[in-house]
Structure 1
Amino acid sequence: MRRVCLTLPTDRACAATIRAVAEEAAYGARRFGVEVCLLILDSSGDQVLAEHREVVDALAPAPGVVVHHLDEAGQRRFLREVIARSGVAAPERVLDLMLPARASYGACTNRAFLIAEALGCASVHRRDSDSRYQYLDGEPVFPLQHELAHLGRRADEVAGLVSRSRLDPAYAQRPVALVGGSFVGEMSVDVAEIRRLDPGIYREVVGLSVPAGYPEIWRGNLIEESFRGAGTTPFTGDLTTLTRVAPTRVDMCNIGFDREVYARVPLPPATDTIGSDYFLIHLVHDARLPGVLHNRHIVNFHTGERRSDSGFLAYQLRLAKFLLSTPYFDAVYARMREAGDALLDAAGHVRADAVAESVRDSALLERTDNAERLDVLDRSYRKLGGRYAMAADLFAARRDQLLAEARTDMAEFAFLIDVWEPLTRAGAVAGAAHAR
């Protein structure tokens, strides 16, 4: 039986989301006759963790659904076993990258990838704790419908199942590597207040996320569309497109990857950096692997914690680190776009060595403009005043650290790519050993 992993990483209270994702898991198992491993990776504090355990224990059993709820202690035990089996160098360094002390969007998903390998899954499907499903005629609209229908199948087989195809026929023999949608509701990045307070400052800050050299008219459009997902239009019916999925059209709360991608290349493990988990979407696109874009968009919302003073400062720090990482990632993405088919080997598999080389080279780039980026943030946030001035103080106090981490994060990512395939192989072996 085909086995898939539907994962929900969380570090905050999300009882309603756990119940909703469990319902999606049951739907997937029932609709497609697969076994769905519902994997909840829980980094919450003790009280919230206990609440989540009660929620999980109260879930109604569903045929074909196996629930795995792992706290950080359980995740660490699994990682130590796999790292030891893999025989990779610097095991403690690897453990720190896989389960860092600080929040990491990429690392939590990498743990899901590795556990999915141990569970024998063919694909990983990610949801987020600050999202909900849309409804149509009283029924939830589950993205798993399209993810399970298309992932891993050859593009020429999928072409007859989707609403439309915009894929170059040259790639028709390649399997669908990614299926994704976006979100509706609140912006994925909490910058709406900046836009309300000062549209000019908003354009300057968000403009830091746009690659250098874009024509001004394109630059303006990208700034306008950034972090807005699919807008606010509600779901009324399915629209699916076979294509090379553009990274700007999908969100990591609403995505499924075939294991042929994530078993070869991980996500960047950078800490306190939003957007660090989008790397594989770029890789799939630039390697010219087929994908399916759908409109079963998830509803995004911002939690109360993010709106608190401490949550606000933490999130602004993550935004700043994202903006400092952007020049490095832009250099990698440019290399990958240029490489195109050369990112794949003769069998059509992603070449991890080629990706690692691009990432490693980016860490050697002299990024004098990053100091200027911090200057822009400092000047802009102090103009906004209030909590933004407090964030500017935080950036100033950590200026040297932030600039250094933007570079070292890339070097650490290259290192993790180098050891990733031994880790995934060891994960599979560990899973087989426990299954006996």
Structure 2
Amino acid sequence: MRAVCLTLPTNRECAATIAAIGAEAAYAARRFGVRVHLLILDSADPAIYRRHAEAVAALRAVGSGEALGAAPGTASGAGEVVVHHLDEAAQRGFLRDVIERSGAVGPADGPLGEHLLDLMLPDAVSYGACTNRAFLLAGALGCASVHRRDSDSAYQLLDGEPVFPIEHELATLGLKAADAAAAVTEVALDPVHADKPVALVGGSFVGELSVDIGEIRELDPDAYHQVVGLWAPTGASEQERRELVADSFTGGGTDPFRHDRAVLDLPDIWRIDMCNVALDHEVYDRVPLPPATATIGSDYFLLHLVRDATLPGVVHNRHIVNYYTPERRTGAGFTAYQLRYAKFLLSMLYLYPVYSEMEAAGGALLDEANRIRADVIADSARRSAATDRAENHRRLDALDHCYRRLGGKYAEFADHLAPERARLLDEAQADIEDFALLIDAWGPLMRASKATPADRLPR
């Protein structure tokens, strides 16, 4: 039976999302006859973890009543859902074991082993690291793909029924593009790519902006233009900045889902969000995501890689509903989120050169079997670390100016940001260096994960 991993990383209360994603897992098992490993990677505090455990228990009870049971409503052999709910202790134990068995950096308790463990499970929020853990666990569970959702999102409804993205994901992911064509509504792919596998399937979101800066747009549209425009590449024209600002963080707009549209092509990654994405194992088996901490957007790297490597993808319109949790808007939560945005801007200094090299390389990023050449990506990341920091100094100056102009809590954040500048500049460079290090170690880590003995798999 084909096994797939539907994963939900979380560090906040999301019992309702757990119930909803459980329904998507059950749908996938019924519809496609697959084994769905529903993987909840839980970094929430103990009280919230217990509430999540109750939601997980309810999912299991609806199935066979056993800890690992069939999906609700499935006939015997039609498919099953296996639920894994792992706190950070369980995740850390698994990672330490994999690092030790991989031999990638020596003993797991040595300096390099501990550093690698910190990159995989840091103390701070890391959108890339939580997804990397899902990749390794999916390998250990024998999954052919990873399907990611987020805790601050929900499903659209059509005639009272949820609209599940996994419908398009399982219908096409991993198939040769020529075979996947029958399952989409439009084929725009150049026939030269027809024998390559579909590596990525994704949609976007409807609702609020994916980055919580909509309030800035309401307060001062010109300041919003400047703040968003700061993530444009060095040397971008004003017209290019305007186009970037208009297209950034808006997702699938506001129109509700009414009928399916799925396009097979080199994927338009501007129409894909990481709350609504699936990747074939041939992609994440070879290259991880940047493990940067406190940096929004750090989990989008593989979307660029798939497109630049000329691997086919499917972009659909089963958009997730995006919403915000209150802690982002006030106090420490506001400060933390704005810092993540600042680090996102700084990360672009090092990511843009890698993106440019990938785009220039195109199909040369693939070997003769259409597999990504990880060494090329690692070398590019290492070279990028030497990029002059002048542009990042300019970005921080401009961000400071815009936030002080906005006043109120934004001016207070500017006061908070000022003494952090040197640290943030150093961290942005260290992040790309750590990414290169992780790519080098990733092949051995993934092989060790796939060889995990059954009795060492976390439950």
2:213 is aligned to 191
| Offset of residue 160 of structure 1 | 2.3
| Offset of residue 316 of structure 1 | 0.1
Take 1:275 and 1:386, find their aligned partners in 2: how far apart are those partners? 26
2:251 is aligned to 229
The answer to whether 1:72 aligns with 2:88 is yes
Take 1:228 and 1:189, find their aligned partners in 2: how far apart are those partners? 9
2:448 is aligned to 426
| Offset of residue 394 of structure 1 | 1.8
1:175 is aligned to 197
1:203 is aligned to 225
| Offset of residue 305 of structure 1 | 1.7
- Which amino acid in 1 is paired with 2:251? G
Contact 1:117/1:431 (<8 A) preserved? no
The answer to whether 1:299 aligns with 2:321 is yes
Take 2:240 and 2:264, find their aligned partners in 1: how far apart are those partners? 25
250-259 or 216-225, which moves further after superposition? 216-225
Structural mapping, 1:35-434, within 5 Å? 35-59=35-59, 60-61=62-63, 62=71, 63=74, 64-89=80-105, 90-431=112-453, 434=456
Pairs aligned (count): 435
Contact 2:126/2:294 (<8 A) preserved? yes
| Offset of residue 8 of structure 1 | 0.1
1:10 is aligned to 10
- Which amino acid in 1 is paired with 2:84? H
- Which amino acid in 1 is paired with 2:187? S
| Offset of residue 410 of structure 1 | 0.1
Take 1:242 and 1:175, find their aligned partners in 2: how far apart are those partners? 11
Take 2:158 and 2:236, find their aligned partners in 1: how far apart are those partners? 39
- Which amino acid in 2 is paired with 1:114? L
214-223 or 55-64, which moves further after superposition? 214-223
SS in 2 for 1:184: strand
2:109 is aligned to none
Take 2:125 and 2:309, find their aligned partners in 1: how far apart are those partners? 29
| Offset of residue 246 of structure 1 | 2.2
Take 2:84 and 2:210, find their aligned partners in 1: how far apart are those partners? 27
C-alpha change, 1:434 and 1:77, in structure 2 (3 Å) is: closer
SS in 2 for 1:293: strand
| Offset of residue 249 of structure 1 | 1.1
Contact 2:282/2:371 (<8 A) preserved? yes
Q: TM-score, normalised by structure 2?
A: 0.93
- Which amino acid in 1 is paired with 2:10? T
| Structure 1 segments unaligned to the other structure (5+ residues) | none
| Offset of residue 57 of structure 1 | 0.9
- Which amino acid in 2 is paired with 1:355? I
Contact 1:120/1:431 (<8 A) preserved? no
Take 1:289 and 1:253, find their aligned partners in 2: how far apart are those partners? 21
What is the aligned-residue RMSD (CA, Å)? 1.1
Contact 1:119/1:431 (<8 A) preserved? no
SS in 2 for 1:190: coil
| Structure 2 segments unaligned to the other structure (5+ residues) | 64-70, 75-79, 106-111
Contact 2:169/2:202 (<8 A) preserved? yes
Take 1:110 and 1:431, find their aligned partners in 2: how far apart are those partners? 20
Contact 1:184/1:298 (<8 A) preserved? yes
Contact 2:29/2:81 (<8 A) preserved? yes
Contact 2:349/2:387 (<8 A) preserved? no
Contact 1:382/1:388 (<8 A) preserved? yes
Take 1:308 and 1:394, find their aligned partners in 2: how far apart are those partners? 14
Instruction: Give me the identity figure in percent.
Output: 61
2:22 is aligned to 22
| Offset of residue 184 of structure 1 | 0.3
- Which amino acid in 2 is paired with 1:76? R
Q: TM-score, normalised by structure 1?
A: 0.98
| Offset of residue 213 of structure 1 | 3.5
Take 2:39 and 2:350, find their aligned partners in 1: how far apart are those partners? 32
